[in-house]
Amino acid sequence: MAIAADVPKDGFRLSQLIYDTRYRSYTIQIVVLVLFGLGVAWLLNNVIENLAAKGKVFSFAFLWQRAGYDIEQTLIPYTNDNDHFRAWMVGLANTLAVAIPGCMLATILGVIVGVLRLSKNWLIGRLMTVYVEIFRNIPLLLWILIIAVPMRELTPEPRDFVVTAEMQAAGEAPVASMWLGDSVALTSRGINAPLPLFARPLGSLDLGFMSVNLTFLATLIVILGSFWVNRIIVNRARVMQEETGVRPVTWWQSVLVLAGPFLVLMVALGFHLEYPVLGKFNFSGGVLLQHAYTSLLVALVLYTSAFIAEIVRAGIQAISRGQSEASAALGLRPGRTMNLVILPQALRVIIPPLISQYLNLTKNTSLGIAVSYLDLRGTLGGITLNQTGRELECMLLMMLNYLILSLLISSVANIYNRSIQLKER
């Protein structure tokens, strides 16, 4: 047979490695792998040579040396006698302190702006379009600076709040005064705000490698528990509605379950606010929010919410008009149409790009460098790096840290995404 005769009988020839599609992909992959290996080896060799030339040893021992620098905003206990590792953890906590509230606030603001942009109201629609276009098309760095610079340089000094006896006698008002019933003061050093405190805290549990704040834990358990009980109540109401067609009145049960235990716990723990009090030169008591933190958070929220608004708008517009018309035909009111028909479907379109916005926001917290915010980059990749001179180790750890953070966020978000996607059977 002719076809059989065409098959080469003399076995394997070298040229088949390039011309035969069965082998070609192996050839290419091996060449790529060898080139990649050579490249990595070359880089590593350079690193070793350069380290030797500078007389440095690749080691992470510096993490256990005394850090010796102060961090203004510490969410976990820290003094400058702690080691660099502790400073790194403080920085990580500061990064999360911007990223987590930032994601929440940006989502809320973004959804509001996105929905309002589709409003039939001409004025509101235009205002929201202007908002989105302005914040999307101007660099984030500008928003951070334009909020931080006046906050630092145009706000009054703490001594401007002082009322002296002479001023009282003359009936003069101080240069600046506090807001919200003498509870919040905006000064050039930060925002003094009331601090929530507990008169009878539960203390903390020392597990050796870390300590657990029992008060926080108890609050968390109570909140989660009441949500769980509330879910049972709502589920039971739904079952009853499906069986009998009448939905039992449950709102007061929900309110009781959601608010009651929490309020009881707060009273039992002795919840109160500590207000900032003006001393001779400065405010004491309360909490001092650093301008670096506030401006970074506000700028990130404003900037990211513009992107989220666009995602929400696109998601809602992706739902075909037939859906809202069908629900109108069923007699649903516009509000219920939005909640029961449009948003659940739009959510499937919205979630994946929303996840990448959360990732962007988290990575953008590193722009805190512009206002000297001591986050992950400011501690580990900033002062620690400069003090110890260990560029290679610090940068590696920092990149690894950001990478893990990104992977964590995207995996959690992807689990949620999978749970709401259309189940095709």
Partner 1 sequence: MAVTHRYVRTEMLPQQTAPLTERGAVKWVQTNLFSGPFNTILTLAGFVVLYYLLQALLPWLLNGVWNANSLAECRAIIAANAGEGASGACWALIRERWHQWLFGFYPQDQYWRPVLAFLLMLTAFAPVLFSAVPKKLLWLTVLFPAICFFLLWGGSVWAPVVGMLGFVVLVVVYRLAQPIIGVSPGAGAGVVAAVIWWLFLGAPLANFLAGLMPWGLSPVTSDQFGGFLLAITIGVTAISFSLPLGILLALGRQSDMLIVKTLCVGFIEFIRGVPLITLLFTASLLLQYFLPKGTSFDIILRVIILVTLFSAAYLAEVIRGGLAALPRGQYEAADALGLDYWRAQRLIILPQALKISIPSIVSTFIGLFKDTTLVSFVGLLDPLRGVTNVVRADINWKGIYWEPYIFVGAIFFVFCFGMSRYSMYLENKLKTDHR
Interaction site with partner 1 (CB under 8 A): 18-19, 25, 28-29, 31-33, 36, 43, 46-47, 49-51, 53, 116, 119-124, 127, 133-134, 136-142, 145-146, 149-150, 153-154, 359, 363-364, 366-367, 369-370, 377, 381, 385, 391-392, 395, 398-399, 402-403, 406-407
Give the shortest CB-407-to-partner 1 separation in angstroms: 7
Whether the CB-CB separation of 118 and 313 falls below 8 Å is answered with: yes
Q: Considering the complex, what minimum distance in angstroms separates the CB of residue 422 from partner 1?
A: 17
Q: Which residues contact 307 (CB under 8 A, 6 or more apart)?
A: 110, 136, 357, 360
CA torsion, points 278, 279, 283, 286, in degrees to nearest 10?
Answer: -80
Provide, rounded to whole angstroms, the least separation between the CB of residue 303 and partner 1.
Answer: 10
Cβ-based nearer residue to partner 1, 60 or 216: 60
Taking the least distance from each CB to partner 1, the nearer of 29 and 317 is 29
Rounded least distance, CB 349 to partner 1, Å? 13
Tokens 């020839």, residue located: 13
> Considering the complex, what minimum distance in angstroms separates the CB of residue 321 from partner 1?
13
Question: Which residue number, 25 or 244, has a Cβ lying nearer to partner 1?
Answer: 25
CB closer to partner 1, 18 vs 167 = 18
User: Quick one: 109 or 359, whose CB is closer to partner 1?
Assistant: 359
Is-contact 263 255, C-beta < 8 A?
A: no
**Residue closer to partner 1 (CB basis): 28 or 239:** 28
Cβ nearer to partner 1, comparing 15 with 244: 15
Q: In this complex, which beta carbon is closest to partner 1, that of residue 276 or of residue 368?
A: 368
Q: Which is nearer to partner 1, 128 or 288 (CB)?
A: 128
Output the smallest distance, CB 54 to partner 1, in A.
Answer: 9
We find the least distance from the C-beta atom of residue 10 to partner 1, in angstroms, to be 22
Cα–Cα distance, 27 to 295 (Å, whole number): 55
Residue 77 CB, nearest approach to partner 1 (Å) = 27
CB of 56 to partner 1, least distance (A): 9
Minimum Å gap between C-beta 265 and partner 1 is 37
For partner 1, give the closer residue by CB, 18 or 420: 18
Q: What is the 3-state secondary structure (H, E, C) of the chain?
A: CHHHHHCCCCCCCCCHHHHCHHHHHHHHHHHHHHHHHHHHHHHHHHHHHHHHHHCCCCCCHHHHCECCCCCCCCCCCCCCCCEHHHHHHHHHHHHHHHHHHHHHHHHHHHHHHHHHHCCCCHHHHHHHHHHHHHHHCCCHHHHHHHHHHHHHHCCCCHHHHCCCHHHHHHCCCCCCCCECCCCEEEECCEEEECEEEECCCCCEEECCCCEEEHHHHHHHHHHHHHHHHHHHHHHHHHHHHHHHCCCCCCHHHHHHHHHHHHHHHHHHHCEEEECCEECCCCEECCEEECHHHHHHHHHHHHHHHHHHHHHHHHHHHHCCHHHHHHHHHCCCCHHHHHHHHHHHHHHHHHHHHHHHHHHHHHHHHHHHHHHCCCCHHHHHHHHHHHHHCCHHHHHHHHHHHHHHHHHHHHHHHHHHHHHHCCCCC
